[in-house]
Homo-oligomer: A and B are copies of this chain.
Amino acid sequence: MNANNEGDGDGIQSTKTSFEIIHALQDIGPARLSEIASHLDFAESTTHRHLRTLQDLRYVSREGERYQIGLRFSRLGRAAQTRDPAYEMAKPHIQTIAEKTEERAQFVAEDHGLGIYLHVETGDRGVHVGFGVGRQIHLHGSSSGKAILANYPREYVDEIFDRWELPALTENTITDREELYEELEAVRERGVAFNREEHVEGVNGTAVPVKRDGKVLGALAVAGPSHRLTGDWFEKELPNMMLATANELELNLTYSTPGSADDHLVE
C-alpha cells in the first residue's frame, strides 16, 4: 500500500546487482561470464564475484563454462506459490474448469500491482499463449486483473495505475482511467469481468474474484480464442459456471483450518 515510487537511488546496491545477474540468466539462458558481463555492462571481475557468491548459495549453477539459473529457485518459487494455502486449494477447481470448458483455465493473484499466474491448466483445445505459471501481467488488460481490481479500494487502484501505467497491449486495451473506473464499477456489480481481446489479439477471457472474509485473494479465469468465446456461452453460461466454482472454493476456504505444517530438511 505504499506509493513506493521506485526506490532507484537507495537500497542495497549489491543485492540489486546480484538480481540483475539472475535476471540476465533468466532472460538469455545459460551464458558465459563474458556474455553476462557485457550484456549488463558490468566489469567482469564484479560479475564473476557475484556469480561465485550466487553459486555458493546454489542459486546459480554451471554446466561446463556456462552459468545458469540454479534449481534451488524452484524451492522459493514453490514457497511463493504456497505462501497462502488458499492458493493451493484453488488448483483442483482450475482443473475442473479446464475439463468442463475444454479451454485454458487460470488462477491469478496480485502482488505489487501485477497479476501472477499461479495455476494454469490448458485443456486439450485450450489456446497456447506464452503465459505460463509465474508470468506477470498488467492488471488493467486482463479479465483476472479487472476482477481483482474491482474489489480494491479506489486509492489502491490508483497507486497501481500510477506505478504501472496503462499500456495498450492490443488495440482493444482500455487505456483511459475514467473508462476503466466505470468498467471496474460494472465488474463489481456483475461479479464477473470480461476481456475482449484486450490482452492478446484473438483471445477473449472471463474471470471471477475469489474472496476470503471480504478480501480478494485472486481470480479464477478462462481464456480462449475469441471466435469460440462468444454469445450466451461467453456472457452467461461460462460466467455462471465460474461463479458457482468460485463460490464452492470460497466455502472451502472459510471452513478449512488456516494452519499448514511444513518440515525443514536440506535447505
If over half of A's interface residues share one DSSP class (helix, strand or loop), that class is named, otherwise mixed; here it is mixed
B116 with A74: CB separation less than 8 A: yes
Q: Which of A102-143 contact B (CB under 8 A)?
A: 109, 111-112, 114, 116, 118, 130, 132-138
In the complex, chain B residues whose CB is within 8 Å of the CB of A50: 12, 15
Q: Within A193-233, which residues are at the interface with B (CB < 8 Å)? A: none
**Stretch of A18-26, A177-185, A236-244 lying at the B interface:** A18-26
Residues of A134-154 at the interface with B, using a CB-CB cut-off of 8 Å, are 134-138
Instruction: Kindly provide the distance from the CB of A219 to the nearest chain B CB, expressed in whole angstroms.
Output: 14
Q: Is the CB of A75 within 8 A of B12?
A: no
Q: Say how far A58's CB is from chain B's closest CB, in angstroms.
A: 5
**Bound form: Cα–Cα A27–B79 in Å:** 9
Tell me the count of chain A residues lying within 8 A, CB to CB, of chain B: 66
Q: For the complex, is A176 an interface residue (Cβ under 8 Å from B)?
A: no
Contact of A19 among B29, B59, B114, B138 (CB under 8 A): B59
The stretch from A35-43, A63-71, A91-99, A246-254 touching chain B is A63-71
Chain A residues packing against B (C-beta within 8 Å): 4, 6-7, 10-16, 18-19, 22-23, 26-27, 29-30, 49-50, 52-59, 61, 68-81, 83, 109, 111-112, 114, 116, 118, 130, 132-138, 164, 261-267
Ranked nearest first, the 7 interchain pairs of A and B with the lowest CB-CB distance are A77-B77, A78-B134, A75-B134, A11-B53, A71-B111, A73-B80, A74-B134
